[in-house]
Amino acid sequence: MTVSYRQPGVVLTDRRFTVPLDHADPAGETIELYAREVVAGDKAHQEQPWLVYLQGGPGFGANRFVGKGAWLGRALKEFRVLLLDQRGTGHSTPANRQTLPLRGGPAEQADYLTHFRGDSIVRDCELIRREVTGGAPWTVLGQSFGGFCTVNYLATAPEGLTAAVITGGLPSLDAHADDVYRAAFPRIERKVAAHYARYPQDVERARRIADHLLANDVVLPNGYRFTAEAFQSLGILLGGSEGSHRLHYLLEHAFVRTPQGAALSDAFQEEAQNLLSYAGHPLYALVHEAIYGQDDRPTDWSAERVRAEFPQFDAAKTLAGDGPLLFTGESIHPWMFDCDPALRPLRETAELLAARTDWTPLYDSARLAANEVPVAAAVYHDDMYVDTAHSLATARAVRGLRTWVTDEFEHDGVRAGGPRVLDRLLALTRDEA
């Protein structure tokens, strides 16, 4: 049963779909997908073309907007929008520490999770498109990992697309995860330097916090083991438009005086655990490196191995001198499965995924070179999460793809820029800009 309801200026409808777990076995096990249909209130009874939104991640459900926030208001001027909770996320059939044991042991869980990459998400879209649009093609908007999925869409099912719009999500077509992280750590270092240039008082604050964590065993209220490495990982904030400011405000109230001396404040610990916990999006940790798997090479905890090539990120070595502590960014490490209570039961499953060597290719370069779907992509010139050089190489490999390279936004430009980013990219797909 579908349920419709109203928010300011929009009508929302809950939609549910049943799809195969493994699209190569359509008669086999099924899972459920959830999506939220959104239409402008004054157009609720009008026929309109469709736009499907693919959220970044992996592992996050679609944005929960109130009314016409961010880019949604621009989209609703001409589209009905489908906000899809990709498989395993949001209100779709969940995949987490509570549900994965239903599959069996770690080996069975790892096998199950191989079906949660972009290729499966695209085939989900094609099944539900026929139900939603009656078979008509639709426009796709892919943010970050959603853009990775969109490139797979262009390579595998372009007949389903009227146009494609990508924001901060043009992947390398052939890079191994090691290549991705070797490009990432220098970008992260630049972002940290920019943060300290803006907030020089944070240099000493960050060193003091890391020193405290190296000298003490700290467990956050939710059971998270708060180590110096975990503290450094809060640098993931620096990839967003407000991230540097958020990190600064977090650091400024880290310590409080107690009868036993200085201690990490309850307020700081509460905010830190909310930022660090993967309880709400465990797939992000489980399959993050798997989204780069395309050949017989294992990902093998790529970010952890590559980080060792950049000794300036070692907290203990930094604190032995007088340099600034470097934060890290969008990377997953094996210690996270020891620190985070939401991930601890899944450590062996993660190890099996990291060792896997039978990943299927995600991008067909020949089909992309022959692309006929109008496609435009926003490329952020020093995006912390997606390498600009990799993105531009892919842009050149996709026939007809138009880029908008800008330093006005960080990785979350489609949110922070309101309607402007989507408006510009739609115009590019139509040769209007």
Residue 109: which of 296, 349, 283 has the closest Cα? 349
144 is catalytic: yes
Q: Active site residue: 25, 358, 407, 431, which one? A: 358
Instruction: Write down the catalytic residue from 92, 212, 411, 412.
Output: 411
The secondary element (H helix, E strand) that includes residue 197 is helix 177-198
Let me know if 411 is a catalytic residue. Answer: yes
Report strand pairing: 161-167 vs 138-143.
parallel
Strand order across the 3-7 sheet: 3-7, 10-20, 30-40, 80-85, 50-54, 138-143, 161-167, 375-380, 402-406
Phi, psi of 264 (to 5 degrees): -65, 130
Q: In whole angstroms, what is the distance from residue 149 CA to residue 117 CA?
A: 8
Residues 6+ apart with CB under 8 A from 302: 176, 177, 178, 180, 181, 289, 292
Sign, Cα dihedral of 63, 2, 127, 286: positive
Please, is 32 exposed, middle or buried when counting C-beta atoms within 10 Å of its C-beta (0-12, 13-18, 19+)?
middle
Burial of 216 (0-12, 13-18, 19+ CB in 10 A): exposed
Is there a contact between 171 and 148 (Cβ–Cβ < 8 Å)? yes
174 touches 152 (CB < 8 A): no
Q: Give me the phi and psi of 174, to 5 degrees please.
A: -140, 5
Query: What residue type is assigned to position 212 of the chain?
Result: H
Within 321-371, residue ranges assigned H as helices are: 336-339, 347-355, 365-369
**Ramachandran assignment for 301, one of left (phi > 0), alpha (psi -120 to 50 degrees), beta (any other):** left
The reply to whether 338 belongs to the active site is no
Q: Name the active-site residue from 144, 244, 277, 302.
A: 144
Residues shown for the chain: 433
CA angle 394, 396, 399 (to 5 degrees): 105
Angstrom distance (rounded) from CA 20 to CA 124: 8
Q: Which residues are catalytic?
A: 144, 358, 411
